Amino acid sequence: MKVDSLLKQTCEWLKGTGPNSDIVMSSRVRLARNLADFPFSHWAAKKQQKETMDLLSEAAQSMEFLKNGLLVPMAEVDDVDKQFLLERHLISREHIVHPEYKAVMIGDKEVVSVMINEEDHLRVQVMQSGFNLQECWRIANRLDDSLHKRLKFAFSDEWGYLTACPTNAGTGLRASVMLHLPSLVMTKQITRVLQAITKLGMTARGLYGEGTEAEGNFFQISNQTTLGTAEEDVIDNLERIIRQVIGHEENARKTLMKQNRDLLQDKIWRSSGTLKSAHIINTKETLTLLSMVRLGVDMGLLADIDRRAVNELFILTQPAHLQKIEGKVLSSSQRDVKRANLIRRRLEGK
């Protein structure tokens, strides 16, 4: 298997299924772990980095959900492939920098991926479509138990799992939910909601995590605290807060339908019309228009478009995906043309 093979499948988290999938795009659980007998990745010598990559690659390939998976050494793929993996949420920006002795192991349907020698020796990630944190945690916990049978991790009775960044110490658990919140943005309630989330110990980021803006009205909400709280409590607390945010978005949608239906329909249908007719379009405008089309689909105002098709376009229209589809490097202006063409064909069901 090669990276190109991923183009032939839809990521599990893009399928538009699962609980509350009209608002929740995806759920994710990530565990950070480090080997007890090796320095952290940033402090390790080249020889030690190679030893950890070899050891962890072998361990990952034997894990449930990863057998017959795709092992990608980061030093062996080009810049487009690296960006492609980032766009699919399989690796982080950190994993692209200094790729020597780094790898990612990708399981079937991209439910599970494991970054090796990122900031920590291991970053185990599980993703599901919709509001499915419990299932993500169930799988991640089983993977963690399996790893513990083969590997000895850096652990302190006082501090829990030891990580390169102190903010990840303790459980090493980061749980997050990707929410589509256009109505809260349109009704100008989003700032108040995000401020409340922060006060409750959560953080909100953009579509591609830390350091990214909330383009396309997508907000990734995750826990900030990993120390002194049990994993189950982290998941429960995040679930409770996400349910409240979902409720706010549902109420905002009802308000828009009741008080500004004509304006809402106009905005949605204009967005759909632009996407179906544009011959040149950039990434930012695409995300903005797709956000409104997705809202129209979810609110029953667009009957001829499938949610899954819209979800897939959020990723397929990204720069690296366009270049992988075309099989060659494209300039920015060439991508804008190819992107518009892809959107027209997909929305027409071709």
In 3D, which of 30, 61, 84 has the Cα closest to residue 226? 30
Residues 96 and 242 in one domain: yes
Residues 249 and 300 in one domain: no
How far apart (Å, rounded) are the C-alpha atoms in residues 11 and 312? 9
Co-location of 166 and 295 in the same domain: no
> Letter for the amino acid at 92?
S
Last residue of a domain, one of 213, 233, 253: 253
Do 238 and 284 sit in the same domain of this protein?
no
Whether residues 103 and 242 share a domain: the answer is yes
Q: Do the bridges between strand 112-116 and strand 122-129 make them parallel or antiparallel, or are there none, so unpaired? A: antiparallel
Looking at the structure of the chain, the number of domains it has is 2
Give the mean pLDDT of 24-38: 96
200 and 82 in one domain?
yes
SS3 42: helix
- Same domain membership, residue 175 and residue 309: no
* % the chain with pLDDT above 70: 97
What domain range includes position 329? 261-347
Task: State whether residue 339 is helix, strand or coil.
Answer: helix
What is the C-alpha separation between 31 and 118, in angstroms, rounded?
12
**Which of the residue ranges 152-161, 182-191, 211-220 would you say has the lowest mean pLDDT?**
211-220
Same domain, 329 and 208: no
Which of 177, 173, 175 lies closest to 226 in space, CA to CA? 173
Distance CA 131, CA 125 (A): 16
Hey, is 44 helix, strand or coil? coil
151-171: pLDDT as tens digits: 999 999 999 999 998 888 899
Q: In the predicted model, is pLDDT for residue 209 greater than 70?
A: no
Same-domain pairing of 227 and 313:
no
- Percentage of residues in the chain having pLDDT higher than 90: 81
Predicted confidence at residue 61, as pLDDT, reads: 87
Last residue of a domain, one of 217, 233, 253: 253
For residue 214, name the pLDDT band (cuts at 50, 70, 90): low
Q: Tell me the pLDDT band of 283, cut-offs 50, 70 and 90.
A: very high
Confidence band for 213, pLDDT divided at 50, 70 and 90 = low
CATH number at residue 162: 3.30.590.10
Query: Which residue, among 329, 326, 290, 333, has the nearest Cα to 310 in the 3D structure?
Result: 290
Domain boundary residue, one of 253, 280, 313: 253
229 vs 27 pLDDT, higher one: 27
Q: Tell me the pTM.
A: 0.92
Q: What is the mean pLDDT of residues 179-206?
A: 92
Residue 195 and residue 46 share a domain:
yes
Cα–Cα distance measured from residue 20 to residue 27, given in angstroms and rounded to the nearest whole number: 11
Is residue 266 domain-shared with residue 228, that is, in the same domain? no
Q: How far apart are CA 130 and CA 107, in angstroms?
A: 19
User: Do 171 and 288 fall within a single domain?
Assistant: no
